[in-house]
Structure 1
């Protein structure tokens, strides 16, 4: 884990968004970083398509969690 320095203004925007989305500040920042990376790698995809791609990339870990509960 590392430390990322960001402006106070951006930190405030992350704080607001994290509250609205019921995420921690770190989780919100990580989400935006992932989405930004996906958007740069897939510039023709819409936001919904990027979300789908992100959800599918995490599907393996969710399936493992579900099988551990059964």
Structure 2
């Protein structure tokens, strides 16, 4: 584990997003870094496709709200 220095503006964005997403500031930053890394490695995938793949890899079945 290590420290990552980021700008004040980005830290404030992370802090605000973490409140909306019910994550800690560190968890929100880690989520954005992971999604960014996956997006760079898979430039043809959408954000939704990346999330779907990650949920499948974790054996989590996303709910289909349109089926209700």
Question: If the TM-score is normalised by the length of the shorter chain, which range does it land in?
Answer: 0.7 to 0.9
* Larger fraction in helix: 1
Q: Distance in 2 between matches of 1:27 and 1:58?
A: 17
Give the superposed CA RMSD.
Answer: 1.2
Q: TM-score, normalized by length of structure 2?
A: 0.81
User: 1:56: how far off?
Assistant: 2.5
* Residue in structure 1 matched with residue 33 of structure 2 by the alignment: 33
Could you list the runs of 5+ residues in structure 1 that have no partner in the other structure?
63-70
Could you list the runs of 5+ residues in structure 2 that have no partner in the other structure?
61-68
* Residue in structure 1 matched with residue 21 of structure 2 by the alignment: 21
Structure 1's consecutive aligned runs of 4 or more residues displaced over 3 angstroms after TM superposition are: none
Higher relative contact order (CA 8 A, sep 6+): 1
Q: TM-score, normalized by length of structure 1?
A: 0.79
How many residues end up aligned between the 2 structures?
A: 60
